[in-house]
C-alpha cells in the first residue's frame, strides 16, 4: 500500500503573511546579506578616509621649475616654525644689509648693478632708507602706523655714507629661537644678531648687538597676483608671501621674561 507523500512545507521568511518557497527565501537572504556587507564596507572606508585626512598625509607638488616638493594642508591661521623663522630672518636681513647698491635690468634683460639713491621717508628730509629696506618693510603691519613709524626710525639710523659708497652695514644673525605661540595665528620669536659697520677707514668693522623680540601674525596674501598688478603691489605681496606680517618689535629682555 502506497503511503501518501508528505506535502512540502513552504519556508516562511520572518513574516506572518503568505508563505514563500525555500528557493526564493534563500535568494532573498543572500541578497540581504550582501547588501549588509556592502553597507558595513562603506562605513569602514569612510572611517579610513577620515583618519587619513586627520593625519594630513603630505602631498607631492611639482613647481613650474620642475622641482617636486612635499606639502600638506593646514588651517588658514597655522604656520610652521620653519616658515616663521625664515620669514623673520629674510625680512631683517633685507632691512639691515646696506651696501648702497641695487640690481636692475637693462633693455636686453641683463642684470645691472648701480648706486642706490635711497628713498626719502618724509619730504624735504635728508634721511633715507635703502631701496631693499623699503621693500622689505612691507612685511610690517600698517596698523596704528607701525610701518611708517618704523621707517622714520630706520631712516634716522641709516648713515648717508651708505649712499655715497663710504659705508657698508651688515646684519649677522647669531641665533633665532623657536617661535612661541601666543594664540592662534600669533607668535613671538627672539632674534639675536650683530650689526657690523664697515667704512673706508675701518675695514675690520665695528659691531653692536642687535637683539630683538618680534611678534608676527598670520595674514592672507595673494600668491599669484595678475599681470596687471603694479610693480609696487608685487613687491608688497612678495614681502608678505609667507602669509605673515610683523606686528611688534621690541628689545630682547630675558630678565623680564624669567620674572
Instruction: Report the alpha-carbon distance of residue 224 to residue 218 in Å, rounded.
Output: 18
The DSSP annotation for the chain comes to -PPPPPPPPPBP-S-SSS-B-HHHHHHHHHHHHHHHHHHHHHHHHHHHHHHHHHHT--EEEE-TTS-EEEE----TT---HHHHHHHHHHHHHHHS-B-SEEEEE-TTS-EEEEE---EESSTT-S-EE-HHHHHHGGGB--GGGHHHHHHHHHHHHS-THHHHTSEEEEEEEEEEPPPEEEETTEEEEEEEEEEEEEETTEEEEEEEEEEEEEEEEE----SS--TTS-HHHHHHHHHTTTSEEEEEEEE--HHHHH-
- Please state which of the ranges 96-105, 163-172, 245-254 shows the lowest mean pLDDT: 96-105
Give the pLDDT of residue 31.
76
Phi then psi dihedrals of residue 225, to 5 deg: -65, 150
Give the pLDDT of residue 124.
72
Give the pLDDT of residue 254.
78
Instruction: Report the alpha-carbon distance of residue 92 to residue 244 in Å, rounded.
Output: 14
Domain ranges (residues) in the chain: 19-73, 76-258
- Nearest in space to 90 (alpha carbons), one of 249, 248, 242: 242
Give the pLDDT of residue 64.
60
Question: Residue range 140-169: average pLDDT?
Answer: 94
Give the pLDDT of residue 71.
65
Give the pLDDT of residue 24.
63
Give the pLDDT of residue 200.
85
- Name every residue whose Cβ is closer than 8 Å to that of residue 158 and which is 6 or more positions away in sequence: 98, 118, 127, 128, 129, 130, 133
Superfamily of 76-258 according to CATH: VirB8 protein (3.10.450.230)
- Check whether 188 has a pLDDT greater than 50: yes
- Please state which of the ranges 2-11, 89-98, 198-207, 233-242 shows the lowest mean pLDDT: 2-11
pLDDT digits (tens, 9 = 90+) for 150-162: 999 999 999 999 9
- Please state which of the ranges 62-66, 89-93, 115-119, 123-127 shows the lowest mean pLDDT: 62-66
Instruction: Report the alpha-carbon distance of residue 194 to residue 205 in Å, rounded.
Output: 11
Give the pLDDT of residue 13.
41
pLDDT digits (tens, 9 = 90+) for 35-55: 788 877 887 777 766 665 655
Residue 102 in contact with residue 133, Cβ under 8 Å? no
Question: Residue range 202-226: average pLDDT?
Answer: 90
Amino acid at each position: 500500500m502506497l503511503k501518501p507523500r508528505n506535502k512540502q512545507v513552504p519556508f516562511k521568511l520572518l513574516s506572518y503573511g503568505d508563505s514563500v518557497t525555500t528557493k526564493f527565501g534563500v535568494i532573498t537572504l543572500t541578497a540581504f546579506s550582501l547588501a549588509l556587507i556592502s553597507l558595513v564596507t562603506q562605513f569602514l572606508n569612510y572611517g579610513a578616509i577620515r583618519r587619513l585626512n586627520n593625519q594630513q598625509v603630505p602631498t607631492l607638488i611639482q613647481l613650474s621649475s620642475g622641482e617636486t616638493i612635499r606639502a600638506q594642508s593646514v588651517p588658514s591661521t597655522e604656520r610652521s616654525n620653519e616658515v616663521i623663522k625664515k620669514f623673520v630672518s629674510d625680512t631683517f636681513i633685507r632691512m639691515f644689509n646696506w651696501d648702497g647698491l641695487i640690481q636692475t635690468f637693462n633693455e636686453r634683460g641683463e642684470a645691472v648693478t648701480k648706486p642706490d639713491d635711497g628713498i626719502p621717508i618724509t619730504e624735504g628730509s635728508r634721511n633715507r632708507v635703502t631701496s631693499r629696506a623699503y621693500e622689505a618693510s612691507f612685511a610690517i603691519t600698517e596698523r596704528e602706523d607701525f610701518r611708517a613709524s618704523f621707517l622714520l626710525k630706520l631712516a634716522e639710523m641709516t648713515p648717508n655714507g651708505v649712499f655715497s659708497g663710504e659705508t657698508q652695514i651688515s646684519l649677522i644673525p647669531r641665533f633665532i629661537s623657536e617661535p612661541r605661540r601666543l594664540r592662534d595665528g600669533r607668535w613671538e620669536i627672539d632674534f639675536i644678531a650683530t650689526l657690523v659697520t664697515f667704512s673706508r677707514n675701518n675695514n675690520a668693522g665695528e659691531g653692536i648687538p642687535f637683539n630683538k623680540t618680534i611678534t608676527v601674525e598670520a595674514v592672507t596674501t595673494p600668491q599669484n597676483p595678475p599681470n596687471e598688478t603694479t610693480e609696487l603691489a608685487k613687491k608688497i605681496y612678495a614681502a608678505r608671501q609667507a602669509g605673515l606680517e610683523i606686528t611688534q618689535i621690541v628689545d630682547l629682555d630675558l630678565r623680564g621674561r624669567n620674572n
